[in-house]
Structure 1
Amino acid sequence: MSLDTLVPLSPADLRNARAENPKTRARDLAESLGVTEAALIAAHVDGAQVLRIDAGLDRLFPAIQTLGEVMALTRNASCVHERTGTYEDYHSGNHAAMVLGAEIDLRMFPKHWVHGFALVDGPRPSVQVFDAAGDAVHKVFLTDASDRAAFETLVRDLRLLEQSDTITLTPRAPVEAAKLRADNAEALRREWGEMTDTHQFLRMVSKLKMNRLGAYRVAGAPWAFELPADTVTKLLHASADQQIPLMIFVGNQGCIQIHGGPVTRIAPMGPWINVLDPRFNLHLRADHIAEVWHVVKPIRDGMAHSIEAFDAQGALIVQIFGKRDPDTSAFRALIERLPRKAGA
């Protein structure tokens, strides 16, 4: 059930709530009101300062590429990934699309890019896209170095005729809990060992009636090792201390955003563990992490090692790989020194 069916607040109610809480983040305010973030933004649509725009990737991304330097943000319920750079090298696709820029690296799944908005007012104009349930898929914020004239052109060209302040949302799909088949364990381990590319993994486990987390629990060594819940925090600190470059993947059902490079400033703040570097920020709710796995997958030229964190419902929060600079041996050595969970 969508949050918006629980509390029947009108667009005027939502605008009043925003006016009374101008400094509260939109996501936090929406949650406190029992509505989705998309509904809160839609309530402010006036066709001038907040507008509905076309969320279709093949129109949106060529326009975003004209903005110059911006800040890209992708998040899920437990982790926020922010990367400053320029959108470059957009690749279209009906089922999956990509941005392969030097700093902004994305994988997008177009069917989830449903509700698009341009927020014109304020010091940080933005483009924000939400899925059918009203959850944020991806956001683009202008910086001091952005091309404001190009943003005005984007808004004009992508503006929709319909500029309603109400929004129709569909029920949010529940998180799929760990799905495992112990009777398929032998087949899983055999086919896992025959992989030559990490992209083969999800097709393989689906065929065996499992999902990612379920497969990790079934496979065990030498492919999956459970680690303590504080492993990601330890990994970030160790990577910063040793300047081991990482690939950090954070996503939702509509977008995955990737940081490739070192992390430097690691700052805990309450339940959050943060990376606060000049062009990359990560904000991770460490207290949401229920399971962490060291995962090994065969690839054509060796083995791919990753650290993957899940919440208590089984949702994937973050994946961390070593960056090939020129290889991942330092990352592998680091994670093999990390403590394993008792019995793993």
Structure 2
Amino acid sequence: MTQAQMTAAEIRAARAQAPQTRDRDFAQSLGICEAQLVASYTGQPLSAQSGAQSVTRIVAHPDAVMPAVKALGEVMALTRNASCVHERVGTFEDYRAGPHASMVLGPDIDTRIFPKHWAFGFAVEKQTDNGVRRSLQFFDFAGDALQKIHLRESSTLEAWEPLVARLRLEDQSDAITVTPSAPTEGPKVNEDKRDVLIDEWKGMSDTHQFNRITARLGMNRLGAYLVAGAPFARPVPLAAVEPFFHAVAAAGQKVILFVGNPGNIQIHWGRLDTIKVMGPWINVMDPQFNLHLRADHIAQVFVVDKPTKRGPAISLEAFDAEGGLIFQCFGQRDDAGDLSVWQGIVDALVPAAVAAQ
């Protein structure tokens, strides 16, 4: 049965036969998107049966959502792409709206939001063996998840119903119309502009200047790394990614770790203490931060060095086979502003032949 043929009732019936499969994986097995699976439970009563769900369609625009979420107190914020899941525990604090990009700033939750991609919003209540789990879930026009906000035992539960009532849409239909997602942009290179790229790269004073430089030269991030080469973007063996995480943990090195999708980027500041590898997954399992990375999805990795007013900004960046960015990880300076430990960690990842260039 194809996506176009399935009704909400048929989706729910199929789901009842596979209640343990994760939403994203189950939706893919049906040939539908995750948002269509979630929408199919709109208006359903929440029974006491484990796995039962009740969904309310809500406003999706961050300008309405993010200031309201603060009332929930401590939550778990989840942002993912196809290869990496980034989970951060904290409270949504200072929301700053912008016409093209918005952000949430705070000691625990730090995001960069691109509102034009936020299309569908849902308040989800799901019955489990341990009680009702509540979450706010937001998706793009293709029905792919942008951000999920899960309540915890420590959350302000009494704020849930007023928040849902405030954000509730008049349209409570259990079906949505989605549009195909744009394909991932592969590397855009312009070898003729290499000398200009290098000159402007050397003249950067802020990492945010990089995207403007590459766009002006007809390249994108990955394309510029391939054109520039060492010492600006040094290729790293894929097998070095797992040892990298263990080295960061062993050194107690604080990092700034970005994971995102077209509509949302979530940032972790701090240590990566507990590394657990399970099959293809590299996991960080710390109390306030979890990361789940599919190492087998990584196709290219670089140590990237960009100049700033504070000194070099040195990152490890991983890309998938289509050229999509999976994650970026920067070293966080210590109290004295030093990055020597981080420098040593990333330098050790680069093959000697590349390091000698």
Task: Output the amino acid matched with 1:332.
Answer: Q
Please state if 1:212 is matched with 2:217. no
Whether the 8 Å contact between 2:237 and 2:349 is mirrored in structure 1 is no
CA offsets 1:173-222 (integer angstroms, 9 cap, x no match): 00000110111111111111111110010111011001000000000122
Give identity over the alignment, percent. Answer: 53
Task: Report what 2:51 is aligned to.
Answer: none
CA offsets 1:214-237 (integer angstroms, 9 cap, x no match): 000000122110001123211110
Task: Output the amino acid matched with 1:33.
Answer: L
Task: Report what 1:75 is aligned to.
Answer: 80
Task: Report what 1:101 is aligned to.
Answer: 106
Task: Report what 1:187 is aligned to.
Answer: 196
5-14 or 307-316: bigger deviation = 5-14
Quote the Cα distance in structure 2 between the aligned partners of 1:323 and 1:9.
49
Quote the Cα distance in structure 2 between the aligned partners of 1:118 and 1:33.
23
Quote the Cα distance in structure 1 between the aligned partners of 2:117 and 2:299.
27
CA offsets 1:249-307 (integer angstroms, 9 cap, x no match): 00000000011001111000011000011111000000000000000111112110000
Q: TM-score, structure 1 length as denominator?
A: 0.96
2:178 to 146, 169, 185: 169
Aligned-pair distance for 1:5?
A: 7.1
Aligned-pair distance for 1:324?
A: 2.2
SS at match of 1:339: coil
SS at match of 2:307: strand
2:350 to 326, 334, 339: 339
Whether the 8 Å contact between 2:249 and 2:274 is mirrored in structure 1 is yes
* Structure 2 counterparts to residues 147-296 of structure 1, below 5 A: 147-296=156-305
SS at match of 2:85: strand
How many residue pairs were aligned?
341
Aligned-pair distance for 1:6?
A: 5.6
CA offsets 1:114-172 (integer angstroms, 9 cap, x no match): 10000023332000000011100000000001111111111010000000111111121
Please state if 1:19 is matched with 2:24. no
Task: Output the amino acid matched with 1:58.
Answer: D
Q: Check 1:125–1:95 CA distance in 2 against 1; reply closer, same or farther (3 A cut).
A: same
Whether the 8 Å contact between 1:227 and 1:341 is mirrored in structure 2 is no
Aligned-pair distance for 1:332?
A: 1.3
Whether the 8 Å contact between 2:235 and 2:350 is mirrored in structure 1 is no
CA offsets 1:289-338 (integer angstroms, 9 cap, x no match): 00000001111121100000000100000000011222322211211122
Quote the Cα distance in structure 2 between the aligned partners of 1:103 and 1:235.
24
Q: TM-score, structure 2 length as denominator?
A: 0.93
326-335 or 184-193: bigger deviation = 326-335
229-238 or 50-59: bigger deviation = 229-238
23-32 or 125-134: bigger deviation = 23-32
Task: Report what 1:36 is aligned to.
Answer: 33
Whether the 8 Å contact between 2:234 and 2:350 is mirrored in structure 1 is no
Task: Report what 2:48 is aligned to.
Answer: none
Quote the Cα distance in structure 2 between the aligned partners of 1:335 and 1:318.
15
Please state if 1:119 is matched with 2:127. no
Quote the Cα distance in structure 2 between the aligned partners of 1:266 and 1:178.
31
SS at match of 1:52: strand
Quote the Cα distance in structure 2 between the aligned partners of 1:341 and 1:181.
27
Aligned-pair distance for 1:342?
A: 5.8
Quote the Cα distance in structure 2 between the aligned partners of 1:324 and 1:115.
38
Quote the Cα distance in structure 1 between the aligned partners of 2:182 and 2:66.
27
Aligned-pair distance for 1:47?
A: 6.7
Quote the Cα distance in structure 1 between the aligned partners of 2:99 and 2:321.
32
Q: Give the gaps of 5 or more residues in structure 1.
A: none
Task: Report what 1:84 is aligned to.
Answer: 89
SS at match of 1:72: strand
Aligned-pair distance for 1:17?
A: 1.3
Task: Report what 1:315 is aligned to.
Answer: 324
